[in-house]
Structure 1
Amino acid sequence: MMSIFVRKLSRSSRKSPVSLAAVLALAGALLLGASYAAPAAAQGTKIGFVNTERILRESGPARAAQAKIEAEFKSRDADLQRMATNLRTQAEKFDKDAPVLSESDRAKRQRDLSNMDGDLQRRRREFQEDFNRRRNEEFSAIVQKANAAIKNIAEKENYDLIVQDAVTVSPRVDITDKVIQALGK
């Protein structure tokens, strides 16, 4: 007995160049593909998630690197703070003295304040660039170690996929703690 679907296909095949045999072959191929895909889906794909930001914030090597960088840049930061305080003091003094200063003295002090401000801004920019460069150097080594730890965990625990960014993550697939532990908290 011919099904309604096959009858409709046989009627429509008269109107279209696609033959009934081609449609049935395609349907068979889809069913065959689905039968192969079903066992793979039943076996399951083991997926893990890693929060890289947390690793770079909480792991032992990351904390040590952050402390090292802060120690390296502490004196330069203090110098910048002193320069900023001095500039503020000079600006306040200028504002107080401006009404009684001659035009030439006022222009000279404004120029001096402008030069001090420009120098402070330049030094802050250099400081930030140096700090960021140094931080990137330190943290790139930590990222390499973390990637090696992630790869090691993936191989030992037979993960098929480990992702770093996700909209939502179940705690059961989060392996961040394992990576932090492997790096040495």
Structure 2
Amino acid sequence: MRRFAVAAVLGLLLSAAPSFAQAPAAPAAPPVQAPAPAPQVPFPAGAKYAFINIQRIANESGEGRAATARVQALNQQKLTELNERNKAVQANQLKLEQGGSVLSDAARLQLEREIERQSVDIQRFTEDAQAEVQALQAQLQADFQQRLSPVIQRVAQERNLEMLFSVADSGIVWANPGLDLTNDVIQAFDTGAGAPAAGAPPAAPAPAAPQP
């Protein structure tokens, strides 16, 4: 079987983990819709090189959109939980400010300690939430790459290519648009070509291009 190189790195850019600042939760994002595919230019006969846009695959494939939705859902859940904690500590802060001379020294001290405890709890929750979102991102990226790699290899082999580039990482300035096999990969990915066979060992990920 002809060997070829896949010069590609995963470009799955899911929603970045938020700073979880004390701000209102953003409204839930509408369902992600797949954009209409661009018109396909015929692949040049006999071409041995081609390229793909991995970011487009991540954005437009069913796998990529599902992964993005999962991260956004976890993001929203954590923001909602954080807002509830913020409301609780803000209520106590307001009580402390408005209490004035009405509160006894013991009651004031107890309320101050409760506010301090809540503030520490919010800080810990923020750190844990960020770690949880980032861990989910990392896992989904790894799963995405594992499932995408055999699809890329299959498409390249079907075209009898010598090399397949990732357009975002290869330094390509211009190329015949017919060499773009992104739509082919998305179509193959969405038809289940990336799903590993039962009992099959995980496919090796495509080698990453060297970082500049």
- In 2, distance between residues paired with 1:181 and 1:125? 39
Indicate conservation of the 8 Å contact 1:98/1:106, yes or no. no
- In 2, distance between residues paired with 1:123 and 1:169? 47
Q: 1:56 aligns with which of 53, 58, 61?
A: 58
Give the equivalent residue in structure 2 for 1:156: 158
Larger radius of gyration: 1
Query: Does residue 184 of structure 1 match 2:190?
Result: yes
Q: Which whole-Å deviations, capped at 9, do the CAs of 1:126-171 have from their partners, x for residues lacking one?
A: 1221222223223322211211111111111122222221444546
What amino acid is aligned across from residue 90 of structure 2 in structure 1? R
- Residue aligned with 1:61, SS: helix
Q: Which whole-Å deviations, capped at 9, do the CAs of 1:33-78 have from their partners, x for residues lacking one?
A: xxxxxxxxxxx97333333233222210122233345556765553
More helix by share: 1
Q: 1:174 aligns with which of 153, 176, 180?
A: 180
CA distance 1:101–1:145, change in 2 (3 Å): same
User: Aligned ranges for residues 32-181 of structure 1 at < 5 Å?
Assistant: 46-68=48-70, 70=72, 77-98=79-100, 101=103, 105-164=107-166, 165-167=169-171, 168=173, 170=175, 172=177, 173-181=179-187
- Residue aligned with 2:95, SS: helix
Identity of aligned residues (%): 25
CA distance 1:92–1:149, change in 2 (3 Å): same
Q: How many corresponding residue pairs?
A: 142
After TM superposition, the structure 1 stretch with the greater mean CA deviation from structure 2, 150-159 or 133-142, is 133-142
How large is the RMSD of aligned CA atoms in angstroms? 3.1
Give the equivalent residue in structure 1 for 2:22: none
Q: Which runs of 5+ in 2 are unaligned?
A: 1-45, 192-212
- Residue aligned with 1:49, SS: strand
- In 2, distance between residues paired with 1:63 and 1:146? 14
What amino acid is aligned across from residue 96 of structure 1 in structure 2? Q
TM-score norm. by structure 2 comes to 0.54
What amino acid is aligned across from residue 127 of structure 1 in structure 2? A
Which runs of structure 1 show a deviation greater than 6 angstroms over 4 or more consecutive aligned residues? none
Indicate conservation of the 8 Å contact 2:74/2:133, yes or no. no
- Residue aligned with 1:184, SS: helix
